[in-house]
Chain A
């Protein structure tokens, strides 16, 4: 079981309110991702849930019980840190055994859990090595193994992939998703990378300056961002935001249109512009179109085989069904 409820949880460091009163419900078995730019309070929020920081107000409920003043070890949560935080002088086996040793789990039970975790995480051959002899990805798996053997009611991940190179990151992303599918345990995952959020989450919590901007499934956030911040943060490349008379024509202060919802043509369309930089990814091509008179550049996604070059004149046509309209305050208009 791992149902976590935050009731008006607040955190202040001195006079600075890092997290204003915040409410959030995390259902049992959910994969929740806290995402936001650096300094938005997402790691602080995770540490509050873990108990590594004291709350300045509000209550944290774990499975219905008030855990606000429970010490970290007693909350039944396991955490995976950004730096892995492995114990460098202990072998992999001892690292994984450490929480069980502290909890007084019998030796044969320890061995059984270590063996099963090592098998699940492909660590069996490395059990007698020291962390210093492992690669980044292996260290991360040891850290996850150390969390699994505790059989926690929820896992907390604090930017676990940001120290890995791009290829490994994709691999570990899949492994963590698979782990979640297998264990069905609640997972709370903090990242600043919206791709990780989109690909892994059941539910994304977008944070800015300690405030929740929007909560929802990845596709809800993609389809209907509640405000300009979420619109600009979710989706890659970013949504094009257009202000001025063109927005006024649609009765909004700002209109947003995603690069994938603009049609490109060499001959006709709604907006005229000139091709600036183009990025050919093979499957797709991203054009940065300049001189449209709408915004500095308009990003457009087109097919991989399209034949347009720097300086060519292009015509863009937005797909009206996917046009997002925002009012002066930046909130979504119906």
Chain B
């Protein structure tokens, strides 16, 4: 596996000057939750530019607002301050062209794998022949062919997560948001699912934002990794990995992978220690 950049390049935590094509943009995004005991400043202010077709990962200590950031991009949550844009338009509700895969198993147990995958397309009133075509493709792509008529309860956690990814994939999203999608899976399955994800990313040309707590996952999969601080979460570092587009999980054996992971941990360790010393971990 060749490595494009021999050294990890580190970009300052400020936003890089407008990339060629910005697909999604956050400016001064802040989220505060009102709780019975007072306010909880969960996130921000955060600035972020996602380049079109970029694979971007977010790592950060637990409770730093990573999922909140994803919710804002998905239109599931509104920021109190700042702006969130997707394809030049302000994000109000869930925007067309955005697909989300959650950490929890979101497959519908009352539907077969095939019906699960076709679910969104059917509700959207897509032509049945087109549904067939896209569902067949997605089921084949995610290696679910032998399980098309099975029910989620008959599948392992990894297979169910594939069903959820396939259900998102058939909608042909241009921005795919993944909230720790492999968090509940074992290490080997996670590496293999990472390969699947890279393949999906290359084939669809979609922009990907991956939330993860696994440094190795972020280092192996991403073009760029954003490191977040403890709450209220802000980006304290952006690390460009410099991998070539045609990469897979075998990059973990390269020294460069170690460099990236070390760089991420160096930044994250300080934040994780803050949490530990505050007794929240």
Binding between chains A and B = no
